[in-house]
Amino acid sequence: MGTKTAIIKFPGTTCEVDVYKALLEASVDAEIVKFKDFDPDKYKAVVLPGGFSFGDYLRAGSIAASTETMKKVKQMADEGKVVIGICNGFQILVESGLLEGALLPNLNLRFISKWVYLKVGRKDTVLTKGLEKDIIKMPIAHAEGRYYHTDPERAKRLAVLYYTSQDGTVDEKYNPNGSLFNIASVANEEGNVIGMMPHPERASFKLTSPDGATDGLLLFRGLRKW
């Protein structure tokens, strides 16, 4: 098994370099790989970055989800290896069936770009295990990020991050897109596959973060411990 983390680039992916730099800052050995060149045997983990894979035609992430590459990613997930989807990457994971639920257009039908506070609901996932903070701060930037699940109680069990106030109050007024129960991130039961709408790579450097927020690094460092 390889020791590196693969950052998979589909046509239309835009955040692969930011993720790469953030992973290096977190001391995670990573490299960017074109989707057709991806060999799962070379890697211990995969990150699917944000962007607009294949132009987000049909639905966000749906075409990328149907590629041979994602069949290989699913094989890795089944073997217990780490798979992380950020924004469009989260949409790909849902479309491919690696994560439960659906990501619908934002309730206001507009693209939303803003910094949000997030409450950690699970600490048994690759990115949150051992995380000392309960409230973290990261930006979102999406048009289709409204999480939905046909089984609300199951959605609660899968939820990793919730949109919240600065003091951790989970309320509809802090819900930017209409997500079920303010859910911003979910994982599988095992915790090795996780998707999130917020962008941790954009909260990994003091220079580019308001108030010097670097909570994204705290999540990425989880890759070193899993």
Q: What are the C-alpha distances in Å from 194 to residues 46, 94, 108, 158, 206? A: 11, 10, 26, 10, 25
Distance CA 213, CA 202 (A): 9
Contact 45, 5 (CB under 8 A): yes
Q: What are the C-alpha distances in Å from 158 to residues 2, 95, 140? A: 28, 16, 20
Contact 115, 135 (CB under 8 A): no
- Cβ burial of 114 (10 Å; 0-12, 13-18, 19+) is exposed
What residues act catalytically?
Answer: 87, 199, 201
CA atoms within 13 A on the CB side of 157: 8
* Coil vs helix vs strand at 111: coil
